[in-house]
Structure 1
Amino acid sequence: MVMKQLAALAGVVALALALLEPAAAAGLKFSSNDLKSEKLLWRLYERWGKRYNVARKPAEKLRRFATFNETAHRVASRVQVAGQAPGLNIFADVTNEEFSRNFLCHMTTEQRNLTARPPRRGGNGTLPLPVSVNWRNKTCEGQPCLGPVKFMGSCGSCWAFAATGALESHRAIAGANYDDPVLLSEQELVDCDPRSKGCKGGLAVNAFQYVMKNGLATSTSYPYTGVGNGTCHANTTTRASLIMRGFERLPPHDKFQLLSAVTYGPVAVSIAVTTQDDITDFMDYDGGMYRGKCGTTCNHAMLLVGYGADYYILKNSYGRYWGDEGYLFLPRDRNCGMLNRGGSYPLMGQA
C-alpha cells in the first residue's frame, strides 16, 4: 500500500516538474486516425509525452495508457469547432480522481468584516466601456503588465496565485518608480496568512489583508513548494518593493462594475467550473471558447485579465500546458458563477 502511495506521489511530482518547464502553446492536436488502433494510440501517447516532457516508468506508463486512451476518445467525441482539431493538454493521462484530489482548488467562506474600500470605479452603469480589454497584450514601462502563468501543483492555493497575480500587475501599472518587475511569493501566503488555510483553502481578499499589514516576499527569497506545513518564514525573508494602500471589493451580480474594474487592471475572481460528478470538461480544456459544464458553487479562484465582446479572459494557475497557454476564454452569457462573489483588486501606491 505504501509503495503504491509513493508511486502515485512520484507521478504527481513528475507532472508538477513538467508543468514548470518552458512552455509551448497547450493542446497537442490529433485526428481520428490516431485512434484507429492501439499501436497508433501508443504513438500518440509517446508524442504527448515528448510534447510536455512527461517521463513515466514502464509499469506506470502501461497503467496510465488506459487513462490516456479514455481521455483521447472523450476529447475526440466532443463537438469541435469547424476546422479545429481536438487537442490534449498536460492532464491527458491523469485520472479524474487524481485531478480532483491533487489539482482542484479550495475556497473558504468569505468573511464580511474585511476592511476593504467600496468600489470607486464605474459610475452608475451608464458610462461607456471599451469594446475589449486584454492585459496580456499591454506593457508597463516597457515590461509586460502581467506576470507569467504559474503552476500551483497539488496544493489548493489558487486563491494565493490570484492574489499575487493581481498584486504583480497592479504594481506594474502603478508607475515607473518601482524597480524591475518582481514575482511575489504565493508560498508566504500559504504559510503565513492567518485568515486562510494554506493548501486547504483561502481567499484573495484575505491575502490582500495580510499584505497590507505585512508586505510580501519575492518568490526568489520565499520560493514556492506547494506544501502547507504551517511554518511561516516571513520574518527571515526579504520584503518586495511593494506599497499597498488598500483593496476594493466589487459587489456581486454587477457585470458593469466588474468590466469597469478590469479596464484599470486585473481582478481576482471566483468561479464554479466543476461539478461533483463531472470535472472532465475543465480538466480537458485545451483552448478556445469554454463550452463545458459549470458547477453551482464557486470552487476555483482565477485572475480576470480582460474581456471581449462576448467572452472573459481568465488567467489560471495550472501552468502554460493547460488551456490557451494557461488562460481560459469564458463566454459572457454563461460565466460559471463568476458574478456570484463579485471580485477584488489591490490599490497600489508608487515606491
Structure 2
Amino acid sequence: MVKLAALVVAVALLALLDPAATVVEFAKEDLESDDSLWKLYELWGARHKVARHPGEKLRRFAIFKEQARRVYDLHIEFAGDTPLGLNSFADLSDDEVRRDYRCAKGGAGNGRKKRSFINVKRRTGDGTLPLPVAFDWRSKTCYGHPCLTPVKDQAYNCGACWAFAATAAMESHHAILKNGSLLRLSEQELVDCDTNNGACAGGLAANAFQYVVKWGLTSSAAYPYTARNGTCKSSATFPVLGMTGFARVPAYDEFELLQAVTYGPVVVSIDANNTEFDRYAGGLYPSVKCGRTPDHEMLLVGYGSNHYILRNSYGENWGDKGYMLLPRNFDLHDVFGPCGILLDGATYPEMA
C-alpha cells in the first residue's frame, strides 16, 4: 500500500512538469517556506529522476534550499526576463560539483602568452569585418541529417570534459565533411588509452586529437563509456575515424575564432570555477561573475550578435538543453574575453 501511494505521488508530480523542459522552473513563492521548498525539491527529483535514501535526502534538502535561494538572488541581479530554473546539480554542494566535474588541466595552455592591454582582433556588433552576424550549427543540417550529435553527459566523478569536447568536435566535422553520417565516438577509449591526458582527472582536447591522429578512434558502441578510469582495450577494437591533424586558433583573436566556427565547431576553454556556472539553467550567463583562468573545455558551436553558443558535457538537464549562451565582450582592450574564452585560443580537428 505504501509503495502504491508513493507511485501515485510520483505520477502526480510528473504530471505537473513540462515534458519538454530540461530544468525545473520555480517562482519566489516557492522559497517562502520549508513546505513549499520541499514540494519544489520533490518536483525537481521527479524531473531529474533523483532518488535519495530518506536520511540522505534530508541532508540534500538543506543544500537544495541554499542553492535555490542563491539561484534566485543571481536571477534578480543578472538574469532579467529569463525564467528561474534549477538544473540537475541543485542538491549537490559546490565542492562536490567542482571535485567531480571539473576536468581541464589548467586550461588549454597552448601558446599562452603574457600580454597586457592590446587591441584584440575582434568582430564587433557593427559588422565591420566580413562574417555573418550570427551562426549556429544547432539549426543546420548536413546532407539531410543534424550536424551535431546529441548532448552527452560525462557523469558524476569523472572529469572528462576534454574527451567529450574532442569527440563532439570530431563527430560534427565528420558529419559536415563526410556526407552527413553521424558517428558516436568513444570517450572511454580516450580516457583509458590517451596517456598524454589524465583520464578522469582532467586533460586537453588537443592531446586527444594527437592520439586520434596516431591511432584513430573507435565507436562508443564498441567501447562504451563507464565514467571511470579503466585499462586500455583499443587493441581489441576497430577504429571508425581517422584524422590528418588538428588546427589551432590563436589566442586573443575573436575574429579568427568566429571565422573558424563558421566552418565547424571548435573546442574552447573557459573559467567555470564558480557557482553560477554549476547552477546555470539557461539564458545569458552572468559572465561578470567568472574569472580568467580557463579550467573547463567546451565546444563552441556558434554565436549571436551579443553571445557565444557553447555546448557542455553535463547532459541536457544543465543549461539550455545542454548548451550555454556566454555574453560576448566588445571591449577591444580586454585580452581575455568573457570567462577567459580568448586566453587559450581554440582547437579543431582536420579530418582524413
Indicate the TM-score class for this superposition, using the shorter chain for normalisation. Answer: 0.7 to 0.9
Alpha carbons of structure 1 residues 82 and 248: separation in structure 2 relative to 1, 3 Å: closer
| Residue identity matched to 2:147 | C
Cα distance change, pair 137–110 in 1 and its aligned pair in 2 (3 A): closer
Query: Given that residues 25 and 324 in structure 1 are in contact (C-alpha distance below 8 angstroms), is that contact kept between their aligned partners in structure 2?
Result: no
Work out whether 1:152 is the aligned partner of 2:151.
no
How far the C-alpha of 1:30 sits from its partner, in A, is 0.8
- Using the TM superposition, give the Cα deviation of residue 109 of structure 1 relative to its aligned residue in structure 2, in angstroms: 7.1
> Stretches of 4+ moved more than 2 A in 1?
23-27, 80-85, 108-113, 123-127
Q: Please show how residues 259-274 of structure 1 align to structure 2 within 5 Å.
A: 259-274=258-273
Shift of 1:25: 3.2
Count residues in correspondence: 310
Residue in 1 that maps onto 2:298 = 302
TM superposition shift of 1:181: 1.5
Q: Is the 8 A contact 1:172 1:181 kept in 2?
A: yes
Matched AA of 2:53: K
TM-score for the superposition, normalised by structure 1: 0.84
Aligned 8 A contact 1:108 1:201 in 2? no
Give matches, 1:63-142, under 5 Å: 63-78=59-74, 79=76, 81-107=79-105, 128-142=130-144
The answer for the alignment partner of 2:207 in structure 1 is: 206
Q: TM-score, normalised by structure 2?
A: 0.83
2:176 match: secondary structure: helix
SS at match of 1:312: strand
Which residue of structure 2 aligns with residue 228 of structure 1? 229
Quick one: percent identity of the two aligned structures? 53
Q: Is the 8 A contact 1:159 1:201 kept in 2?
A: yes
| Aligned mates of 1:195, 1:105 — CA distance in 2 | 14
What per-residue deviation string (whole Å, max 9, x for no partner) do you get for residues 59-102 of structure 1?
A: 11111110111111111122164444311111111111111111
* SS of aligned partner of 2:268: strand
Output one character per residue of 1:89-134: Cα deviation in whole Å (capped at 9) or x when no partner.
1111111111111122232575869xxxxxxxxx999851011110
Would the alpha carbon gap of residues 109 and 51 (structure 1) be closer, same or farther in structure 2, given more than 3 Å must change?
Answer: closer
2:347 equivalent to 1:348: no
Cα deviation, residue 295, structure 1:
2.0
RMSD over equivalenced CA pairs, Å? 2.1
User: Are residues 151 and 61 of structure 1, via their aligned partners in 2, closer, same or farther at CA, if it must alter by over 3 Å?
Assistant: same
Cα distance in structure 2, aligned partners of 1:112 and 1:87? 36
Matched, 1:29 2:32: no
Question: What secondary structure is seen at the aligned counterpart in 1 of 2:66?
Answer: helix
Distance in 2 (CA, whole Å) between partners of 1:222 and 1:108 is 28
Asked if the contact 1:24/1:321 (under 8 Å) is kept, the reply is no
The 1:111/1:323 distance shift into structure 2, 3 A limit, reads: closer
8 Å contact from structure 2 (residues 103, 159) kept in 1: yes
Pair 1:169 & 2:172 matched: yes
Partner of 1:288: 283
The answer to whether 1:322 aligns with 2:315 is no
- Cα deviations by residue, 1:147-171 (Å, 9 ceiling, x for unpaired): 1111112211111111001000000
Q: Deviations over 1:22-62 (max 9, x none)?
A: x8433211111111211111111111111111111111111
- Can you give the 5+ residue segments of structure 2 that lack an aligned partner in the other structure? 1-18, 112-120, 330-336
Structure 1 unmatched ranges of 5 or more: 1-22, 114-122
Q: Which amino acid aligns with 2:83?
A: A
2: distance between equivalents of 1:288 and 1:232? Answer: 40
Q: Which has the higher mean CA deviation after the structures are superposed, 181-190 or 101-110? A: 101-110
| 1:171-226 residue CA offsets vs partner (Å, 9 max, x unmatched) | 000132x7x41110011111111211111121111111110110001001001111
